[in-house]
């Protein structure tokens, strides 16, 4: 099945913030972070229902190498990425996000 994948504005901000943080630490590390996020998003697109539901209908996949979770929902043929957050962040940050904020 082909899905329409939408990255919400808050998730985009999450990605940009983490990219900047890693790139400030070590040149090139931010780009490696983006590659890991892209790989996880590609995995979501291939098989979105294989990742666990954590809260209501929100699913999560963990990135490799970086301690980040990508939180998303499935809505018919759409996949909506709600958040890309460090694993130690407060869970209420992604629990409050929903498709209505898009």
Q: 58-69, pLDDT tens digit by residue?
A: 999 999 999 999
How would you label 1-13 residue by residue, b for 16+ Cβ within 10 Å and e otherwise? eeeeebbbebbee
Where do the structural domains in the chain lie, given as residue ranges? 4-97
Angle at 53 between CA 51 and CA 56, to 5 degrees: 155
Rounded mean pLDDT, 57-82: 95
- Percent with pLDDT over 90 in the chain: 80
pLDDT in tens, 30-67: 999 999 999 999 999 999 999 999 989 999 999 999 99
Min mean pLDDT across 3-7, 90-94, 97-101 is at 97-101
SS3 48: helix
- Give the predicted TM-score (pTM) of the model: 0.89
Considering the domain 4-97, what is its CATH architecture?
A: 2-Layer Sandwich (3.30)
């Amino acid at each position: 099945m082909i899905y329409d994948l939408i990255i919400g504005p808050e998730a985009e901000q999450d990605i940009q913030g983490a990219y900047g943080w890693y790139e400030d630490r070590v040149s090139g590390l931010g780009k490696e972070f983006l590659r890991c996020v892209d790989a996880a998003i590609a995995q979501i697109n291939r098989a979105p229902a294989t990742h666990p539901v954590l809260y209501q209908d929100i699913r999560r996949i963990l990135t490799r190498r970086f301690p980040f979770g990508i939180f998303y929902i499935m809505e018919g043929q759409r996949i909506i990425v709600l958040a890309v957050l460090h694993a130690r962040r407060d869970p209420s940050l992604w629990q409050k996000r929903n498709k209505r904020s898009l």
